[in-house]
A and B are shown apart, each in its own frame.
Chain A
Amino acid sequence: MTAAALTAAALTLTGCGGGGGQSADSGKKVELRMLANISLTQTEDFWNKTVAPFEKANNVDVKIVAPGADGLAGTLTQLLASGDVPDVVEWLAPSAKLAPELVDLSKYDWAKNGPLAEQNKVDGKYYTAGVGENLQSTFFYNKKAFADAGITQAPATMDEFEADLAKLKAAGWVPLQTGGEWFSNILFQYISLPNVLAANPDWHKKMSSGDLTFSQTFAGSAKRYADWLKAGYVPKDAVGVKYADAEANFLAGKVAIYPMGSWFAAAEKAAPKKPDIGVFSTPVEHEGDTPRVAAALANTYLAMKASKHQDLAIKLIKFMTTDKTAITEQLSGDGIFRAGYDDYPMDQVSKDLQKLISDTPAEDFVSPGEGSGDTIVPAGFTNELNTDVQAMMTGKSADDFLHSMDDWFASNR
């Protein structure tokens, strides 16, 4: 049924309807509201500082809206449902579900030519522009741990990786740091998804249509993960370890390898004391395979159709994604990387990540998590994977894990 007329009338009555285009009214300072991700490194102060030149140049007040307890996606849904829609949304990628609420940015070259723009198209349209890339198949390692274990170079295949874990354990090191909360799935995803996507380029589409099942594509990785748990490569109590504690453990030199997104580079850079750290991306399954690097568009910006100041909202997005100072601040502030943008102070870990981005051909990047643009699996996949990986960490078998994920896909496609 169509509720358009009723809802549109309600939105008009409450002053929340679409429209826009005006940049200011009769000299009064316009307030633009930007829902932005707040993290340990991208704080409210960080955002206020980054948008300050835009505010000054356009006589605009950009108000940062912090997400609530349900996270940024949950907060946006609540704001949309209540009609209290922000003008700009940072961090979220566009999806077919969200597209009707977004301004189509296809007529702007800066949106079409930005990083990972093609991968984030929805129904052939560009709804977002981003700043750089978050690598999501990266393993940070303690160089001293590798030296202690007699490992001379980062593993190139999964078998080598497994052998290195055994060497690290034998040398008295805790081989891998993972944890609870939202990031339990990271280790599993990082050792599996890039290789699964290499073997099944249409994985997202086939999973959504039901032509493939989770257990058909992840059985090997699930077994490997269960074996690693059994072998004690992951601490027994890891499922209760908090994100900040996991990071602190690695930076304190207590564990050998820390699988985490490239955003860890920002925390690593800021840490006053840390071990000598190296980084490698997901090793290939078989020697000779082409390695895939999982990368997501980072610091994405969406202009909301319901904004009363669409022109200014678009102008703000253009500023955040094309102004060199704004880009550099965002890149250095949150461990985001972009090919060709390396003229700001970087430490060795950041340089290694920058090299990984620059050395990876565009066709070898794959989308992590639920995918991007039109190439996605049903929403909620990452949450479910997280819950089921935790179940494996607390004793569920690899087979049960696979069945559970298969059931989830069957009831959510």
Chain B
Amino acid sequence: MASPAVIVFLAMFMVPMVLAFVLSLTDWNGFSLRFEWVGFDNYATAFKNPRVVHAATFTFVVALIGTILCNGMGLAVACLISGTGALNTVARTVFFYPYIISALIIGFLWSALLAPQGVVNNILTQLGAPPVPFLSDPGFAKWTLIFTIVWSTFGFNMILYIAGLKSIPAEYYEAAMVDGATPWLKFRHITFPLLAPVTTVNLVLTIVGLLKSYDIVLALTDGGPAGSTQTVVYEILRDSFVNARLGFGSAQAVILLIVTGAIAVAVTLTRRGAEMRVSE
């Protein structure tokens, strides 16, 4: 019974992974019929290449800050609009909407708003305020990118948290109310602990998703200015296809796969204690 699923799993996941690892040991350019085995040279190059190291560091920062903000905002907004009123339904739609828009469109949209000659800076200039270098200063551009990613992603976290909130029995809150608990105490001792399984899923999905950031980067900053917003996947695709170094790109992809897997496992294990307490 399980064999079709096993075949699909092998074909769609294991084969590409093994192939990526094999290619990472070569200098294949992506199309030639010939290539050389280079052993682990591509891996050594990746760890020494300043561009790759910078991209890895920046990606980690995006994943870390993005995960905290997406989950913080997702949970806060979920708590505020999890009720059944019509306004809450509209608010949920509004907050979730960016998540279903193509990341490329989001990137282009924000780029049109925040570029030096974009809408926001034009308004600022007309008001007599100095323009803000959202996309023209490396430091600003990093925060602009993180903001845009969080804006477009936290709606997904919010929906999962709302689903989690709905599954918490109302009796717990009623009992707490009888005991005179404040909203903060109810959140701290009922809501947050009972959301532990949802929080774990949210954390893992967000961090894995953000480690793969690419489309918004491409459309919003194209990795600039001065390479300051290049992410690991941006580097992988540029090296693999634009620079025709698929072997080198594959090595970076394998490293990303291992790091992502390790982080996901670490987060899951770390959260196990919190989840155990819920089931007790």
Contact = CB atoms under 8 A, between A and B. Distances in A.
A245 B135 CA distance: 14
Secondary structure class of chain B's binding surface, majority of residues: loop
Contact of B243 (A2, A81, A241, A379): A379
A8 B32 CA distance: 11
A393 B224 CA distance: 12
B29 A97 contact: yes
A200 to B, nearest CB: 25
Given A81-B246, A388-B226, A396-B226, A241 B117 contact: yes
Contacts of A7: 33
B209 interface: no
Contact of B31 (A71, A81, A238): A81
B83 to A, nearest CB: 41
B241 A70 contact: yes
A77 B49 contact: no
B20 interface: no
Given A239-B225, A240-B225, A245 B117 contact: yes
B134 interface: yes
B199 interface: no
Interface in A1-50: 1-4, 7-8
Contact of A97 (B50, B241, B244): B244
A58 interface: no
A379 B244 contact: yes
A240 B115 contact: yes
A240 B135 CA distance: 5
B222 A71 contact: no
Interface residues of B, number: 42
A396 B141 CA distance: 16
B33 A3 contact: yes
Interface of B: 29-37, 45, 49-50, 104, 111, 115-117, 131, 133-138, 141, 215, 218, 222-228, 237-238, 240-244, 246
27 contacts: A1-B37, A3-B33, A3-B34, A70-B237, A73-B244, A75-B241, A77-B240, A78-B30, A81-B30, A97-B244, A100-B33, A101-B32, A181-B224, A239-B226, A240-B116, A240-B134, A241-B116, A241-B136, A242-B111, A242-B115, A387-B224, A387-B226, A390-B227, A393-B226, A394-B136, A407-B50, A411-B49
The 9 tightest CB contacts between A and B, nearest first, are: A240-B136, A80-B31, A74-B241, A391-B226, A390-B226, A237-B116, A240-B135, A74-B242, A239-B225
